A = this chain, B = another copy of it.
Amino acid sequence: MAAEFDLINQYFRFSSTEQTSTLLDVETGVGDDAAVLNIGDSRFVVATDTLVEGVHFPVAMEPRYVASRAFGVNLSDFAAMGVRPKWLTLSLCVPAYNETWLAEFSYELEQLCSQYSLALVGGDTVRGNLCIGFTVMGTSDNGCLLRSGAQAEDDVWVSGYLGNAAAALALLQNTAHTDWPLTPSERRVLLDAFYKPKPRIELGLSLQKIATSAIDISDGLLADAGHVAKRSSVGLAVNSSDIPVAQSLMRYPEKKRISDWVMRGGDDYELLFTAPKHQRKNINQLSKQLGINLSRIGYVFSGEGILLDGAVASEQQLAGYTHF
């Protein structure tokens, strides 16, 4: 998203003082993927995300994809925290009472709740421009993966293939090159990356005892690597040739655009995580076990900022890509 909207969050950090946090049982507040609250002996985890038509997804997108995209984006925060989501509330803002739209949206949401064993426990529906806000909640007795745990010498890993969702959006917006050879199934895979981002819940849970930090890639690979670097007070180095990119994307006629999609595209909701070198074998085993591609794309160093192929990443590279 536009960088100015990150600035906005600066206005809402007033409860982040140590005093308030201790007093009110807040373990992790504004700034990580989710907030962690202490309730008795349990940790309660809560994350909220709102998607706006025309900002986070194209106007007139099919309702079932509005549901699946909003669901995936929201659960992804829990994947990054290594916590199993259990409940959600929905704030649905719709311009009109359209039964077909509502039936398709709610049917898809019901399927997804069932698939991920989530209960929709509340919410409200109001009239206005289409926007979908979920608040996802769960508990964790095993702690949480944070952005702040990366250590110098750790490896940097990502799941899946990057850039697919950004490329899909170019297809949806008719801004993709017409000379791009894509089979129908390749096209489908790309579109699904945008329509139905898969929250990497099982991966996140498995990484609890393996990774030192994690984040979901929403702003863009380099931007999100930057978030981990900043919160962990370290630097992250990324080798572009190690970044996993789908074959179909590699055939796109303009190399510069591929690079933008992969490095700055965001929207893939894959996990970026750091782990000690001695975990490589475990991570490769985990990849096989879950059937998810896991790629080692760099390393953590003492210092700050992001190195891309040995060069300091520019502000522009770190800024992410504005789709709308």
Contact = CB atoms under 8 A, between A and B. Distances in A.
B55 A126 contact: yes
Q: How many copies does the complex hold?
A: 2
Contacts of A176: none
A52 interface: yes
A29 interface: yes
Nearest to A11: B106
Contacts of A40: 39-42
Contacts of A34: 122
Interface in A123-144: 123-129, 131, 133, 135, 137, 139
B37 A39 contact: no
Which of A5, A97, A121 has the most chain B CB atoms closer than 10 A to its own CB? A121
A148 interface: no
Given A12-B106, A87-B24, A126 B50 contact: yes
B127 A26 contact: no
A274 B127 CA distance: 31
B44 A44 contact: yes
A234 to B, nearest CB: 24
A119 interface: yes
Contact of A15 (B94, B119, B131): B119
A66 to B, nearest CB: 14
Contact of A119 (B9, B21, B41): B21
Contact of A55 (B24, B55, B127, B133): B127
B94 A48 contact: no
Given A39-B42, A122-B30, A5 B87 contact: no
A49 interface: yes
Given A97-B8, A133-B133, A56 B126 contact: yes
A1 B126 contact: yes
27 contacts: A2-B127, A8-B92, A8-B97, A9-B123, A12-B90, A12-B120, A15-B121, A24-B119, A26-B121, A29-B119, A35-B87, A35-B89, A37-B137, A39-B39, A40-B42, A42-B42, A44-B137, A46-B121, A46-B137, A48-B123, A48-B133, A49-B91, A49-B124, A52-B126, A55-B127, A128-B131, A135-B135
Closest 3 CB pairs of A and B: A35-B121, A52-B128, A11-B106
